[in-house]
Chains A and B, each alone.
Chain A
Amino acid sequence: MDYDVIVIGSGIAGTLAAINAARNKKVAVIRKGYGASALSSGAFDIASKTGTRGRPLKGLSTLSVAITEILENEQNHPYSILSRTFTGDRFNEFIGMVKTVGSQFFDELKSVGLGYEGSWENLMIIPNLHGTFKVTSFCQPSMESGNLARLRGRKLLFVGFDKITSHSKTRAGFLSRLLSDYGFVSFKDISYTNINIHEHNIAYNENDLVSLASAMDTPEQARYILNVLKQSLAGIEYEHAFIPPIMGIAGYNDVYQMFVDVFGYTVSEFLSSSFSSAGLRLQYALDKLLAKHGVTIINGTVVCEQNNDKIKTLTIIKKDGNSSQISANSFVLATGKFISNGIKKDTTWKEAVFGLPLFIGSHVIREPFPMNYLTDDPFDEQILFSMGVKVDEYLRPVNEDGKVIYNNLFAAGSILSGYNYIYDRTGMGTAMMTGARAGILSAG
């Protein structure tokens, strides 16, 4: 055997599986590139099914309430599946496990230079670059410091950059009204300013915030930009300022510290969706974690020929077209859903590596046409995005009859069916919980 455990995919689920298995086993991760974690906002949603259709938002419910609701009502949700192995008070035991696994993981991330802050009970409200907000559980410290729930009544300043992402009265006013509409918080004043940064001598691509964040990785450039910001904000009256997410990628820890030294905790970053600096910081930290735990990273696409009840070898096709065989005792499938091609669709739907059957709820997908799984209103929950493999309580993929397909294959993260992270906001939580569990199970 080349390895004890092979993990396919290196997002949150794959990384957690790999580092958990690597405590006592020889582990390799095979990946063809970065997936959904790198494209995410970098925030960690654990559970907050608030405010969607039929469940109007009345205020922020707490995390434990949200998880309990899932365990009570959604039998196919990976949270419910995992909780089935508990024999006592499965609600409290499971919530306890979420906190333990999550805290350990955040400690791991911190050990490689990426902090995460938040609460296992109260949700936070973080403003984003698009003029709205996100409700979530954990964020990088430069964003968590901008938790609007704690900034009630302050005088806020939104900072934009000319020619990249600029603010306007309408945009600032939009968020202000939205927040008071939602009954969260009200602010007596949100003002905005736009800073001219493009005429300074900074190496970045116009209209590309991520490249400006990368430029900050160079200490010299970071000091320079910090100085421009300091001068521009000097004459403005504010209590808390939000800037676009530019505090470095690889050098985030140092850049953030520089900001704290200059501004204290009165300057936060806006959250943003893909391609976000925060998502790239996360992916960068995941790579460091894999290295720290001695996990081998192999780049290539995986194919697997028909096996009986046990998988022995995989074929890896490298970018240059060369292929090689690799063997292991057990395997973790953490390939993600559509973003990372864990599921492919040409004339039919296919789980990309092993050709496992795909489920929506307890039904196997046969119809190739997407409209069978979509409604005509995109604001409804779209069950197409809950498509994935179905697993038993040991995370082993099963067929339509509930039989385990391969004894040594475990699945984790968004390749799983039974939940819809876009609507139930359990994406990162599910990836962490199933990833860690798949890692432990695969290591036997």
Chain B
Amino acid sequence: MKINKPETNKLNTTIYDVAIIGGGINGTGIARDCAMRGLKVVLFEKNDLASGATGACTGMIHGGARYLLNDIHTTYLSSLDSGYIQKIAPHLLFRIPFVTPVLKQDFMPDVYIEFLETFFEAYDKFAPLKNSKPHTRLTKEELKAIEPGITDDAVGAISFDEYGIDTFRLCVENALSAVEHGAQIYNHTEVKQLLIENNTVMGVRVKNTISGETSDVHAKLVMNAAGPWLPGITRLAGTEVKIRPGKGIHLILDRRISNVGIVIKAIDGRQVFMMPHDNTFIIGTTDDDYYGNLDNLWATNDEIEYLLQAAEQYFPRIREYRIIRVMVGIRPTLYAWGKNEDKLYREHKIFDHEIEDGIKGFLTIAGGKLASYRLMSEEATDIICKKLGCKTPCKTHTEPLPGGKFIPDVEKLSQQYKLDPYVVSRIAYRHGARTEDVLKLTEENISNSNIICECEPVIEAEIRYAIRNEWAKTITDIRRRTRLGTGSCQGRRCAMRAAYILGEELELDVDEIKNLIRDFIKERWKGKAPILKDKQLAEEEINLASHMLTDSLNVIIEK
């Protein structure tokens, strides 16, 4: 098996400047920044890039409107960074116009809409920083014209403008950029131990979770960016950073059911978003303290009902639509006692354990939010550079990510490679300037133009590209990078096709391929089982009948 085989010797002999733990947006963002400043970087992720909090978030690069009232500087920095991210990853961002409807049952709706308008007038000042349009005030009729599904109880709305992003691709792009600048990235590689001598962290002991191979890796600094898992890492150093893990779920619908994003209020007054995202629709999120197993997350009936009930107030027919999945994640929120979940700030903090508790060579980053990932990475890298005596300035806000260097000509490429323009446009969305690198694989073998996932659609070439160049080692890894298996059938037909491609690329044996398929079906099941109803239940009857009856995947042999 070829998984993570290369460079084990190199790992053992090199002394890195920084070893980063965690392949979420913080870990990959810091890896990119450090590598671009000339540091020798290695990153370890126990599961896959963006497989934790990053992959389960709403996926918005917003300007931080909610900080406007008490922390205007944060709004300024967030808006500025939203503008930067648009410049470095233009292919990955999509504009989402939002409306905040005011309902007649809201407390003093006439006053509330005035308040909202004043609020968004203030937010308009930051709009140019992030290329957003200023707010508008919509009458009931105008709102209905934009969004016919909205309740008749709406008396008007205020609009504003934000951006959405594919968080998986953003992480992968940061990791790819880090590699272009000399970094090494290892997913499915878990940090089991910190190597500590004289109160100084000298490196990490890592274990490949697929091959079981263990290595000791030496580094001048170890950066703990493990998100919700970070307390486990600090415990390895004999110290503690407390977080307040907050569970959040999103419902995912099979299609875009509204033209714009809608800001709604849940029964407890919390703000929830309903918005189109890629070719799906997202409703979320919830926010509840979580004390369970971080590696086995399930949505509860109460959480699902909470979101549906909120959505129903604004979009009365919401229950008739088809929910294909529920996505669950844990926020690594900074610790605070005596506050409601929703009142916790989305602030971040970088702990230098030399100052905090006398452990040298060890840093932890906690909290934060996706929209300001670049800024947080810059701050963390500044601290790292100061400790290592590196004076190179940050360039992550000006130098585009690998796919962001130019926007390819989809029509021309689809003619050149004889592929459906829609197929090419989806690849161009995910790969930007690297689109042609993916398409070139179709010249290698005609089967590389086969459509493997029909829902998205994803062709064989993109899957091979993800395996060869983007660290994909499981079907779920491929799903994160390509959106394979994210449509309404949730991978019924494409999972096995993808497994054989992985088998070929990674030289896997039959048992390994069988396990890949089983793991993927189990992983999808977590998101499907809690929401099964109507059409999705019909789909699931077909899925199970296909997998168990036709494909005999549940047949067990006695050896």
Kindly state the separation between the CA atoms of A110 and B320 in the bound complex, as whole angstroms: 42
What's the nearest-Cβ distance from chain A to residue B553, in Å? Answer: 7
Interface size counted on chain B using CB atoms at 8 A = 51
A320 in contact (CB, < 8 A): no
B483-522 contact mask (Cβ, 8 Å, vs A): 1 or 0? 0000000001100110011011000011001000010011
**Could you say which of B450, B526, B541, B558 has the most chain A C-beta atoms within 10 Å of its C-beta?**
B541
A128-143 contact mask (Cβ, 8 Å, vs B): 1 or 0? 1011111100000000
Which of B172-180, B214-222, B353-361, B542-550 sits within the interface? B542-550
Kindly state the separation between the CA atoms of A51 and B497 in the bound complex, as whole angstroms: 24
**Judging by beta carbons under 8 Å apart, are A57 and B550 in contact?**
no
B301 in contact (CB, < 8 A): yes
Which of B119-127, B239-247, B531-539 sits within the interface? B531-539
**Judging by beta carbons under 8 Å apart, are A422 and B503 in contact?**
no
> What residue in chain A is nearest B510 (Cβ atoms)?
A177
B319 in contact (CB, < 8 A): yes
**Judging by beta carbons under 8 Å apart, are A377 and B522 in contact?**
yes
**Judging by beta carbons under 8 Å apart, are B552 and A132 in contact?**
yes
B108 in contact (CB, < 8 A): no
Residues of B within 8 A of A370 (CB): 529-533, 537
Kindly state the separation between the CA atoms of A131 and B501 in the bound complex, as whole angstroms: 12
A338 partner, pick from B500, B503, B529, B540, beta carbons under 8 A? B540
Residues of B within 8 A of A (CB): 298, 301, 319, 446-447, 449-451, 454, 492-493, 496-497, 500-501, 503-504, 509-510, 513, 518, 521-522, 525-526, 529-534, 537-538, 540-542, 544-558
Q: Do most interface residues of chain A lie in helix, strand or loop, or is the interface mixed?
A: loop
Kindly state the separation between the CA atoms of A173 and B531 in the bound complex, as whole angstroms: 37
Residues of A within 8 A of B551 (CB): 128, 130, 132, 134, 273
Known A-B contacts A128-B551, A163-B449, A338-B541; the reply to A51 vs B557 at CB < 8 A is yes
What's the nearest-Cβ distance from chain A to residue B256, in Å? Answer: 22
Kindly state the separation between the CA atoms of A181 and B555 in the bound complex, as whole angstroms: 11
**Judging by beta carbons under 8 Å apart, are B550 and A272 in contact?**
yes
Residues of A within 8 A of B501 (CB): 168, 170
**Judging by beta carbons under 8 Å apart, are B298 and A382 in contact?**
no
Kindly state the separation between the CA atoms of A378 and B555 in the bound complex, as whole angstroms: 13
**Judging by beta carbons under 8 Å apart, are A56 and B557 in contact?**
yes
What's the nearest-Cβ distance from chain A to residue B479, in Å? Answer: 16
Kindly state the separation between the CA atoms of A376 and B299 in the bound complex, as whole angstroms: 12
Which of A1-9, A229-237, A301-309, A340-348 sits within the interface? A340-348
A298 in contact (CB, < 8 A): no
What's the nearest-Cβ distance from chain A to residue B556, in Å? Answer: 5
**Judging by beta carbons under 8 Å apart, are B541 and A131 in contact?**
no
Kindly state the separation between the CA atoms of A48 and B325 in the bound complex, as whole angstroms: 32
Kindly state the separation between the CA atoms of A133 and B492 in the bound complex, as whole angstroms: 16
**Judging by beta carbons under 8 Å apart, are B554 and A51 in contact?**
yes
A263 in contact (CB, < 8 A): no
A117 in contact (CB, < 8 A): no
> What residue in chain A is nearest B550 (Cβ atoms)?
A273
**Could you say which of A168, A344, A425 has the most chain B C-beta atoms within 10 Å of its C-beta?**
A168
What's the nearest-Cβ distance from chain A to residue B498, in Å? Answer: 12
Residues of A within 8 A of B492 (CB): 273
Q: Provide 25 A-B residue pairs closer than 8 Å at the C-beta atoms, listed in order of the A residue.
A: A45-B549, A53-B554, A57-B558, A135-B555, A170-B504, A171-B500, A174-B500, A182-B557, A183-B557, A207-B454, A273-B492, A273-B542, A338-B538, A341-B538, A344-B534, A345-B534, A345-B537, A369-B530, A371-B301, A371-B530, A376-B529, A377-B522, A379-B554, A422-B544, A423-B548
**Judging by beta carbons under 8 Å apart, are B446 and A131 in contact?**
no
What's the nearest-Cβ distance from chain A to residue B450, in Å? Answer: 6
Residues of A within 8 A of B537 (CB): 338, 345, 370
**Judging by beta carbons under 8 Å apart, are B447 and A385 in contact?**
no
Kindly state the separation between the CA atoms of A36 and B557 in the bound complex, as whole angstroms: 29
Q: Which residues of A83-111 have CB atoms within 8 Å of chain B's CB atoms?
A: none
> What residue in chain A is nearest B508 (Cβ atoms)?
A170
List the 5 shortest-distance A-B pairs measured between CB atoms, nearest first. A51-B555, A56-B558, A273-B546, A177-B510, A273-B550
Residues of A within 8 A of B541 (CB): 36, 337-339, 385, 422
Residues of A within 8 A of B522 (CB): 377-379
Kindly state the separation between the CA atoms of A378 and B544 in the bound complex, as whole angstroms: 8
Residues of B within 8 A of A55 (CB): 556
Kindly state the separation between the CA atoms of A425 and B518 in the bound complex, as whole angstroms: 20
Kindly state the separation between the CA atoms of A341 and B447 in the bound complex, as whole angstroms: 38
Residues of B within 8 A of A39 (CB): 542
What's the nearest-Cβ distance from chain A to residue B444, in Å? Answer: 13
A346 partner, pick from B319, B497, B531, beta carbons under 8 A? B319
What's the nearest-Cβ distance from chain A to residue B491, in Å? Answer: 12
What's the nearest-Cβ distance from chain B to residue A331, in Å? Answer: 24
> What residue in chain A is nearest B528 (Cβ atoms)?
A378
A41 partner, pick from B450, B538, B550, beta carbons under 8 A? B550
What's the nearest-Cβ distance from chain A to residue B548, in Å? Answer: 5
A271 in contact (CB, < 8 A): yes
B451 partner, pick from A168, A174, A207, beta carbons under 8 A? A207
> What residue in chain B is nearest A207 (Cβ atoms)?
B451
A299 in contact (CB, < 8 A): no
A178 partner, pick from B510, B545, B556, beta carbons under 8 A? B510
Known A-B contacts A51-B552, A370-B531; the reply to A339 vs B538 at CB < 8 A is yes
Residues of A within 8 A of B496 (CB): 130-132
**Could you say which of A36, A50, A131, A194 has the most chain B C-beta atoms within 10 Å of its C-beta?**
A131
Kindly state the separation between the CA atoms of A57 and B552 in the bound complex, as whole angstroms: 11
Residues of A within 8 A of B503 (CB): 170, 174
A166 in contact (CB, < 8 A): yes
A52 partner, pick from B531, B542, B556, beta carbons under 8 A? B556
**Judging by beta carbons under 8 Å apart, are B447 and A194 in contact?**
yes
Residues of A within 8 A of B449 (CB): 163
**Judging by beta carbons under 8 Å apart, are A132 and B553 in contact?**
yes
Q: Which residues of A156-194 have CB atoms within 8 Å of chain B's CB atoms?
A: 162-166, 168-171, 173-174, 177-178, 181-183, 194
**Could you say which of A40, A206, A338, A340 has the most chain B C-beta atoms within 10 Å of its C-beta?**
A338
> What residue in chain A is nearest B555 (Cβ atoms)?
A51
Residues of B within 8 A of A340 (CB): 538
Q: Which residues of A192-244 have CB atoms within 8 Å of chain B's CB atoms?
A: 194, 196, 206-207
Kindly state the separation between the CA atoms of A132 and B555 in the bound complex, as whole angstroms: 11
A262 in contact (CB, < 8 A): no
What's the nearest-Cβ distance from chain B to residue A422, in Å? Answer: 5
**Judging by beta carbons under 8 Å apart, are B554 and A52 in contact?**
yes
Residues of A within 8 A of B555 (CB): 50-52, 57, 135, 182
Known A-B contacts A52-B555, A134-B552, A166-B450; the reply to A385 vs B500 at CB < 8 A is no
**Judging by beta carbons under 8 Å apart, are B532 and A422 in contact?**
no
B544 partner, pick from A36, A168, A382, beta carbons under 8 A? A382
What's the nearest-Cβ distance from chain A to residue B424, in Å? Answer: 15
**Judging by beta carbons under 8 Å apart, are B552 and A168 in contact?**
no
Residues of A within 8 A of B550 (CB): 41, 43, 128, 130, 134, 271-273
What's the nearest-Cβ distance from chain B to residue A348, in Å? Answer: 10
With contacts A132-B496, A134-B549 known, what are 16 further pairs, Cβ within 8 A? A51-B556, A53-B554, A56-B556, A57-B555, A132-B551, A162-B450, A168-B447, A168-B501, A170-B500, A173-B510, A274-B542, A371-B529, A376-B298, A423-B554, A425-B549, A427-B545
A255-282 contact mask (Cβ, 8 Å, vs B): 1 or 0? 0000000000000000111100000000
